[in-house]
C-alpha cells in the first residue's frame, strides 16, 4: 500500500509571519544577510563559501549568463551559469565573469589608427565602453599606439569619417604600467596621476590589460560584492549527470567557484555517482550542490553522498508543469519545512551543517522571507531575475507592454533533456515539463533587489532578528485561511490604479 502523508502539501501563500518584539537596536541597516552556501563544521571552522545576500539565480538559459552573474555578484548574490549549452561555451561564460573584474581587464573594445569616428560610435553603442585602446590591428594584445576616450572627440564638431589617428591620445602622452604591476600599485598610479584608466603593457609595449578607476570606486560603493581571494567576481555553474567527466574539468579550469547538478529530481543514483566522481577527482576543493528533493529521505541521501548544499523543490516554478504532467512534486512551504528539519537533525548527528536552498514557488518578495524563516539558507530564483535588463532573454512589446521572454528548461524551446535524464541510452525530451512564456519587464537588477532586500530586512526586524539564523530561531509562523488571504490585500475600496499592488509580481 502506498504511503500517505497526513498533512496537506502547502505553499508559501498559506503562511504568515507573526511579529515578535523589536528592540530599539533592531533596525534594517543593522541586519546582516550573510548565509552559508556550502557545508562546514560550525564547531571547528567558518564556512569556506558564504553568500552576502541569500539569493542565487536559477540554472536557466533565460536567466543566468555571464552578464547576470556579474550584476548579481555585485549585489552579494551568486549566479549559476546555465549548463544547457556546449562545454566550451559554458566555460567561456565562467571565464568572462572571472576576467570581468580581476582588477586587470582584457580590453574587448579596441581600435586601429585607420578606423573612423563612426567606428568609435558604433563600438561604444554596441559594447557600452567609452575608453578604447588603439593598437596595431585593433587586437586586444596588440602594440599600444594610443587611446580614445570621450574627451578626445565631439560629435557635434567632427565628421564621422575622421580617422582615429587624428584625434586619439598618442602613446607618448600616455601613462602606462609594466606587466608585473600589482593591483594596489596600479590603483596608486591612477590616483596619483588623476587617471580614469591605466594601460598595462609588456616588455614589447603590447597591451596586456586595462585597470579602471571605476572598478575601485565600484567596490567601495558595493561592499557586499561576492569576490574571491584574487578580487574577482564569484560565479557558479550548472552541470548534468551525463557529461560531468568532461564538463567539470573545463569549468574548474575556467575558475568556477561552485557547481550544482541541474536536475528536476535529485533523489537518484545518477546524482550520487556524479558527486562521487567529483570527490574522487577533486576531493573537497570543488564545491558541488545537488537536488532537487522535497522530503527528509531525499535530503539525507544527497547529504550522505557528499553534497555541499541541497536544493529543495519539484514543480513549484512559475514555468514548471511537472506536477500536472507527471503528478510528482510537493508544496514548496511543506517541502522546505521538512527538509530544514532533516538538515538540523543531520547537523545534530554529524556536526556537519549542509545548507539548503529553496528553489521555486516564490511569487512575491515576502515569500523569500517565509522561505528563510522556514529554514532555507538561501533561495534560487528564476522568474524574479528573468524580468531584469541583465537577463539574457529578449525584451519584447506585448499588447503595449514591455515583457521579457522566459522559458523553462523542460520546455520544447529549451529541450534540456539532460536535466530530466532518467538513465538509458535515449537522449531526447519525450514530453514537456515546462512552458515558454513572458514575464513583465522590471528594469535593472540593482533597483529591484534594493527594494526586495529592504523588505526582507524590515521583516526580520519585525521579528526581532538581525541575522538569518536568529530569524529562523525567533520566527513564528501561522497558517492562514482563504478568507484571510483576501483580507491581506486591498479590499472593500475602489482602487485608483487599474490593478492592486502585488509586490514585484507585475
Q: Which residue is catalytic, options 96, 171, 387, 419?
A: 419
CA atoms 188, 194, 196, 198: torsion sign: negative
Which H/E stretch holds residue 80?
Answer: strand 78-81
The C-alpha cell of 293 is what? 528533493
If DSSP codes are grouped into helix, strand and coil, which group holds residue 306?
coil
CA–CA gap between residue 96 and residue 88 (Å, rounded): 12
Supply the DSSP string of 24-92, one letter for each residue: TT--GGG----EE-S-B-TTT---SSEESSSEEE-S-TTT-SHHHHHHHHHTT-EEEE--SS-HHHHHH
Supply φ then ψ for residue 464, to 5 degrees: 75, 30
Active site residue 260: no
Question: What is the DSSP secondary structure assignment for residue 114, as one 8-state letter?
Answer: T
CA–CA gap between residue 493 and residue 500 (Å, rounded): 11
Query: What's the distance, Cα to Cα, between the start and end of the chain in Å?
Result: 45
Place of cell 520566527: 475
Active site residue 419: yes
Which H/E stretch holds residue 164?
Answer: helix 164-167
Residue 326's Cβ-count burial label (10 Å; 0-12, 13-18, 19+) is middle
132 φ/ψ sector (left φ>0, alpha ψ -120 to 50, else beta): beta
Which H/E stretch holds residue 89?
Answer: helix 87-100
Q: Which residue is catalytic, options 320, 357, 461, 463?
A: 320
Alpha helices, H only, 223-331: 244-254, 269-282, 296-305, 322-326
Place of cell 572627440: 153
Place of cell 529543495: 312
Question: What is the DSSP secondary structure assignment for residue 389, as one 8-state letter?
Answer: T
If DSSP codes are grouped into helix, strand and coil, which group holds residue 161?
coil
If DSSP codes are grouped into helix, strand and coil, which group holds residue 463?
coil
CA–CA gap between residue 357 and residue 287 (Å, rounded): 15
Catalytic residue positions, numbered: 320, 419
Amino acid at each position: 500500500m502506498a504511503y500517505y502523508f497526513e498533512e496537506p502539501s502547502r505553499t508559501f501563500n498559506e503562511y504568515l509571519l507573526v511579529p515578535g518584539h523589536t528592540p530599539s537596536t533592531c533596525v534594517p541597516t543593522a541586519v546582516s544577510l550573510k548565509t552559508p552556501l556550502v557545508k562546514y563544521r560550525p564547531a571547528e571552522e567558518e564556512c569556506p563559501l558564504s553568500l552576502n545576500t541569500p539569493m542565487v539565480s536559477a540554472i536557466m538559459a533565460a536567466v543566468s549568463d555571464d552578464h547576470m552573474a556579474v550584476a548579481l555578484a555585485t549585489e552579494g548574490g551568486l549566479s549559476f551559469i546555465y549548463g544547457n549549452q556546449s562545454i566550451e561555451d559554458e566555460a567561456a561564460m565562467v571565464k568572462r565573469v572571472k576576467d570581468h573584474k580581476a582588477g586587470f581587464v582584457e580590453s574587448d573594445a579596441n581600435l586601429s589608427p585607420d578606423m573612423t569616428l563612426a567606428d568609435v560610435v558604433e563600438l561604444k553603442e554596441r559594447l557600452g565602453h567609452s575608453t578604447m585602446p588603439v593598437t596595431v590591428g585593433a587586437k586586444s594584445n596588440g602594440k599600444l599606439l594610443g587611446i580614445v576616450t570621450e574627451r578626445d572627440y565631439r560629435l557635434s564638431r567632427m565628421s564621422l569619417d575622421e580617422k582615429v589617428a587624428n584625434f586619439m591620445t598618442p602613446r607618448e602622452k600616455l601613462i602606462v604600467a609594466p606587466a608585473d604591476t600589482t593591483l594596489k600599485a596600479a590603483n596608486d598610479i591612477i590616483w596619483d596621476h588623476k587617471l580614469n584608466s591605466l594601460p598595462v603593457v609588456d616588455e614589447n609595449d603590447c597591451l596586456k590589460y586595462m585597470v579602471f578607476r571605476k572598478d575601485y570606486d565600484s567596490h567601495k560603493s558595493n561592499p557586499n560584492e561576492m569576490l574571491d581571494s584574487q578580487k574577482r567576481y564569484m560565479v557558479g555553474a550548472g552541470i548534468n549527470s551525463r557529461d560531468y567527466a568532461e564538463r567539470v574539468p573545463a569549468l574548474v579550469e575556467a575558475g568556477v567557484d561552485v557547481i550544482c547538478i541541474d536536475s528536476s529530481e535529485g533523489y537518484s543514483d545518477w546524482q550520487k555517482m556524479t558527486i562521487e566522481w567529483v570527490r574522487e577527482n577533486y576531493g573537497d576543493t570543488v564545491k558541488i550542490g545537488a537536488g532537487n528533493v522535497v522530503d527528509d529521505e531525499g535530503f539525507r541521501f544527497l547529504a550522505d553522498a557528499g553534497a555541499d548544499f541541497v536544493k529543495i523543490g519539484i514543480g513549484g516554478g512559475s514555468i514548471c508543469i511537472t506536477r500536472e504532467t507527471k503528478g510528482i512534486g510537493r508544496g514548496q512551504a511543506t517541502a522546505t519545512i521538512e527538509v530544514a528539519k532533516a538538515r538540523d537533525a543531520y547537523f545534530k548527528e554529524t556536526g556537519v551543517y549542509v545548507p539548503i536552498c529553496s528553489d521555486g514557488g516564490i511569487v512575491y518578495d515576502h515569500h523569500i522571507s517565509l522561505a528563510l524563516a522556514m529554514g532555507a539558507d538561501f533561495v534560487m530564483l528564476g522568474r524574479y531575475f528573468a524580468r531584469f535588463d541583465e537577463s539574457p532573454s529578449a525584451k519584447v512589446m506585448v499588447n503595449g507592454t514591455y515583457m521579457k521572454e522566459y522559458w523553462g528548461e523542460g520546455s520544447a524551446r529549451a529541450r534540456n533533456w539532460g536535466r530530466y535524464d532518467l538513465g538509458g541510452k535515449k537522449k531526447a525530451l519525450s514530453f514537456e515539463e515546462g512552458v515558454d512564456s513572458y514575464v513583465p519587464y522590471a528594469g535593472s537588477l540593482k533597483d529591484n533587489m534594493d527594494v526586495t532586500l529592504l523588505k526582507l530586512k524590515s521583516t526580520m526586524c519585525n521579528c526581532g532578528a538581525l541575522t538569518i539564523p536568529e530569524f529562523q530561531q525567533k520566527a513564528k509562523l501561522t497558517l492562514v485561511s482563504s478568507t484571510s488571504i483576501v483580507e491581506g490585500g486591498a479590499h472593500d475600496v475602489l482602487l485608483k490604479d487599474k490593478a492592486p499592488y502585488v509586490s514585484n509580481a507585475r
